[in-house]
């Protein structure tokens, strides 16, 4: 295991210090309990959008804190849920008096801790709603999850809900949009290699030099099938077919697409994957109206990719196009 | 060697097709000869900024084509110089009647081919200047280079010169700014792992599980020293000291900094590296006025990082802050 770190115990804090130093115009990092908040939080009268999860998936979530996206993010230890006190402190710190939405990826620890945090906030008079993101079509029930896992649709939910909140939509409407994103979004991932959690000091799973894991989870959890490595076109066909058939997406649909790198795959390959995805969608008469290609929800240095598609209508596209100013996503400002 | 590709012979073309499909509002990819041009090129009356080099370093250069940065980029085969006919075609296609600047990383093939292209363009009456970027302090003379290699300052030159051209500065002034960036910028890289060129099918170099290469080149060329892996703080100290002492940078200086990932290192680690760099600069009373942290000039899936520092004055900072709208770098628009 080779890493640019000092100590597995301090890697998250030291990385967050770097995030703070690099983006102090956009965000502020707090410690004990640890969370990242918009520099100008709380924004009075705006619904506050909060997410969080284990570290090791950067830029998610801290890289999406800023105007037009998240008000706060709670980073746990690597691949470990943040604690309720982090979520409570973050929610209270960015609460602008118009309610708060917790966007929660469906992992058992995250769900439980966000529920507990919401109760603690409610006891103090805050209005908090929560939406569970469970867009990963690969498997039902998994190493850390009951039901489907949360994956790429999380980014879409953070962008759409962040825009809606910025527009002044109320908590009910923002929460409804989050559910809509989750209902309309589907993802599936694959891995060429494992990642290694710093504290573990060894790869999360073993995989042969000629094999790949289809449907892998963002922590390296098992997917649908271990199979021999195939050409990219066939890999994308497998992922895209699973995603497209699940909703299902239909001829004439417009979608927002993401080709997401797992952290260790070069951009050269991710654009090649996008080319394949675009061809597959075109053959089904599905139009990719907007897209992201890059590393957005990663698994440390894992090589591989995931594909996320969300059926889009005018409402979602307009919110998608709204300005956003965060470390990892910015346009229109 | 595990990669998301179909065929080593077609990887660049298929990836470029994906780049085109993903960003057709910003750029257009041409084949035979292959180059990437701004969607609205040529821009009449503006100095045209052209760069290029081997593929495998994405987002450089194609990801920097767009308003406020490059007018065109010429991608070669992986880690292979583009040909003079690519550079000639690109220069002619984006020539707006106000001259063209070639920004050339100092690798023997790139320099030779850009020279030939400039002569071909000059024979047809185009005014072309060229600046060689050679900011890598690691070694003098290398596997593909006489003199110092070109590295991260290339990105700074593309941004600064792109902004200057957008402002309407003339060719002489834009060329002078490019020289100024190169004179004021210094870089050094390190690698934890090798990359593998698709056509070669095997790692470019072997490196032990407990070793790292200090001063590695962007194609995996040998650096200054192979040494045992150290904590990130010590690694950054080695890189930063080499960079800071070379110009030298002095107490009171303001700099633009880049912590660049080699392609396979997670963002979690790059922010940790930035934290270390920021501390080292602060201890020398050097202020990081602007910064980039992420994958900008990569070596396929190599794990590692490079550090670039450029001494900045008001002129460079203002041009840096000018709007830019490209696939990989965007602000202010």
Catalytic residues of A: 57, 219
What pLDDT score was predicted for residue A1? 84
Does the pLDDT of residue B312 top 90, yes or no?
Answer: yes
Q: Is B208 exposed, middle or buried (0-12, 13-18, 19+ CB in 10 A)?
A: exposed
pLDDT category at B141 given cuts 50, 70, 90 is confident
Catalytic annotation present for B57: yes
Does the pLDDT of residue B74 top 90, yes or no?
Answer: yes
Domains and CATH numbers, chain B: 11-184 (3.40.50.10440), 185-323 (3.30.1180.20)
**A227 in reach of chain B (CB within 8 A):** no
For A229-250, what is each residue's pLDDT tens digit?
999 999 999 999 999 999 999 9
Does the pLDDT of residue A137 top 90, yes or no?
Answer: yes
Question: HSE of A172 in the Cβ direction (CA atoms, 13 Å)?
Answer: 0
CB B106 within 8 A of CB B113: no
**A143 in reach of chain B (CB within 8 A):** no
* ipTM score assigned to the predicted complex: 0.98
Nearest by Cα to B61 from B47, B49, B43: B49
What is the average per-residue pLDDT within A244-267? 98
CB A255 within 8 A of CB A289: yes
What pLDDT score was predicted for residue B34? 98
Report how far residue B230's alpha carbon sits from residue B225's, in angstroms, rounded to the nearest whole number. Answer: 13
Does the pLDDT of residue A176 top 90, yes or no?
Answer: yes
What pLDDT score was predicted for residue B177? 98
Q: H/E element holding B94?
A: helix B84-94
For A31-78, what is each residue's pLDDT tens digit?
999 999 999 999 999 999 999 999 999 999 999 999 999 999 999 999
What is the average per-residue pLDDT within B301-310? 98
Q: Which residues contact A123 (CB under 8 A, 6 or more apart)?
A: none
Residue of chain A whose alpha carbon sits nearest to that of B14? A272
What is the gyration radius of the CA atoms in chain A, in angstroms?
Answer: 19
Residue of chain A whose alpha carbon sits nearest to that of B212? A2
Report how far residue B16's alpha carbon sits from residue B29's, in angstroms, rounded to the nearest whole number. Answer: 7
For B92-101, what is each residue's pLDDT tens digit?
999 999 999 9
What pLDDT score was predicted for residue B142? 80
**A232 in reach of chain B (CB within 8 A):** yes
Q: State whether A301 and B21 contact (CB < 8 Å).
A: no
Residue B40, CA distances (Å) to A333, B27, B71 in order = 21, 8, 9
Q: State whether A301 and B264 contact (CB < 8 Å).
A: yes
What is the rounded average pLDDT for all residues in chain A?
97
pTM score: 0.98
Q: State whether A275 and B21 contact (CB < 8 Å).
A: yes
CB B182 within 8 A of CB B134: yes
**A65 in reach of chain B (CB within 8 A):** no
CB A204 within 8 A of CB A219: yes
Residue B82, CA distances (Å) to B73, B76, B157, B200 in order = 10, 4, 19, 18
């Amino acid at each position: 295991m080779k890493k640019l770190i000092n100590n597995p115990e301090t890697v998250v804090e030291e990385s967050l210090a770097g995030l703070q130093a690099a983006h102090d115009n956009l965000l502020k990092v707090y410690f004990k309990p640890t969370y990242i908040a918009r520099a100008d939080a709380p924004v009075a009268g705006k619904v506050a959008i909060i997410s969080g999860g284990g570290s090791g998936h950067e830029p998610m979530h801290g890289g999406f804190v800023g105007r037009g996206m998240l008000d706060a993010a709670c980073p746990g230890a690597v691949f470990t849920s943040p604690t309720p006190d982090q979520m409570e402190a973050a929610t209270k710190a960015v609460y602008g008096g118009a309610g708060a939405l917790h966007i929660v990826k469906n992992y058992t620890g995250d769900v439980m801790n966000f529920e507990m945090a919401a109760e603690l906030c409610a006891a103090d008079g805050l209005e908090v709603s929560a939406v569970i993101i469970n867009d990963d079509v690969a498997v039902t029930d998994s190493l850390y999850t009951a039901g489907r896992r949360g994956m790429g649709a999380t980014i879409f939910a953070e962008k759409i809900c962040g825009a809606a909140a910025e527009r002044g939509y109320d908590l009910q409407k923002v929460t409804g949009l989050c559910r809509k994103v989750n209902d309309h979004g589907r993802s599936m991932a694959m891995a060429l290699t494992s990642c290694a959690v710093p504290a573990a000091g060894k790869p999360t799973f073993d995989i042969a030099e000629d094999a790949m894991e289809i449907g892998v989870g963002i922590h390296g959890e098992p997917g649908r099938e271990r199979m021999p490595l195939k050409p990219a076109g066939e890999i994308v066909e497998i992922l895209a077919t699973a995603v497209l058939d699940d909703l299902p997406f239909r001829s004439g649909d417009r979608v927002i697409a993401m080709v997401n790198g797992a952290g260790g795959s070069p951009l050269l390959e991710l654009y090649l994957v996008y080319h394949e995805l675009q061809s597959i969608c075109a053959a089904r008469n599905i139009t990719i109206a907007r897209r992201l290609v890059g590393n957005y929800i990663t698994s440390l240095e894992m090589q591989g990719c995931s594909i996320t598609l969300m059926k889009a209508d005018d409402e979602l596209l307009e919110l998608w196009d709204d300005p956003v100013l965060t470390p990892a996503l910015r346009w229109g400002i």
